[in-house]
Amino acid sequence: MLSNNLSIAKKLYKRKKHIFTSTIIAMAIGLLYTFIVKPVYTSTAYVYPSSLAVYGQESQAEQLLQFLESNEMQLYLIKKLNLAKHYNVDTIKANYLQKLIYIIDSKIKITKTKYESIEIQANDFNADTAKLLVTSVVDGVNWLIEKEHKEKYSETVKNSLIYLEHKKRQVDSTQNLLNELNKKYEYLNVGIQLKDVVKNQYKMQSGGSNNSLTDFINMSEQLKNIEAENKGKSLSELFTSINNYTLQYNKLTVYFDDQVKGWTQANDDYQKNLFEYNRKINFVAMASVPLKPLIPSWPKRWLVTLVCGIAIFILSCIYFIYIDNLKQAYAKITEE
């Protein structure tokens, strides 16, 4: 084994000039490549989920990740940024959409970090576009979640409106019954006035009042007005008629109050659901905003030059060892 290693080392040392020359040439070509190739710029943002409802066993970060990786997200970017024109994709071809999606997948990288945040990284040969891709991803995921949010609350708003209209019909129906009852007996206001008169009379008789002449005159005037408004009917006739419908009226009034309370509650629920449907919120919180990259992320000159040099150095060693072994084998054959 040692003799084989020494033999290989001798062969490599013998070819050192060739190996060194080829390595230097490869490094020079790699360095030249970094000046010729179109530079790639990378923009990065870190975001956290915000105001997301938790479903099942998934965390909010996992839900956000699913929205970010959805097909709707890709279609949103294609349409908003007109990526077909930017990447020179012919939209006449049948598979242009698949090609654009493939390009987006190669340009945008979305990963979950150990801190439950999401890293959004986009690269492009244009620095402005790289930043715009990241900001558009954030805008797009807000739009996508809001769309689902509205779809969810749309049914709730519709159902609460249906219930509100039902309660309104009940209130209107009960109000009509009260109006018909009042119209039929025409004593509704009279009953209220009579209560005041009787109360004043009781106070006067029990000494609860000063029993001044003004009090008697006022009470007398009230009674005259009541009789005049009711076509001269006596107080006894009025009290008899009122007692005939008091129980029915009171029951209907209590029922009407309950219906009004129910309508008020239904209206409050509808307004809350409508507010939730219409409110504008961000479902993504920015932990680190994307910036316009000033320095290209690729190519890295030192890395390309080093990789080219190492690769050619290894290949040169393998090549010259193989060539020398082949020559030795051929020499042995010719000697025999």
Element (H, E) at 232: none
Residue 312 and residue 26 in contact, taking contact as beta carbons nearer than 8 Å: yes
One pLDDT digit (tens) per residue for the chain, 336 residues: 556 667 777 878 888 888 899 999 999 999 898 888 889 999 999 999 887 766 656 778 888 888 899 999 999 999 999 999 999 999 898 899 999 999 999 999 999 988 888 999 999 999 999 999 999 999 999 999 888 888 888 888 999 999 999 999 988 998 888 777 767 665 444 444 444 444 444 444 455 445 554 554 554 555 555 555 555 555 555 555 555 566 666 777 788 889 889 999 999 999 998 888 888 788 888 888 898 998 888 888 888 899 999 999 999 988 888 888 877 777 777 765
Question: What would the two tokens of residue 80 be?
Answer: 């908003």
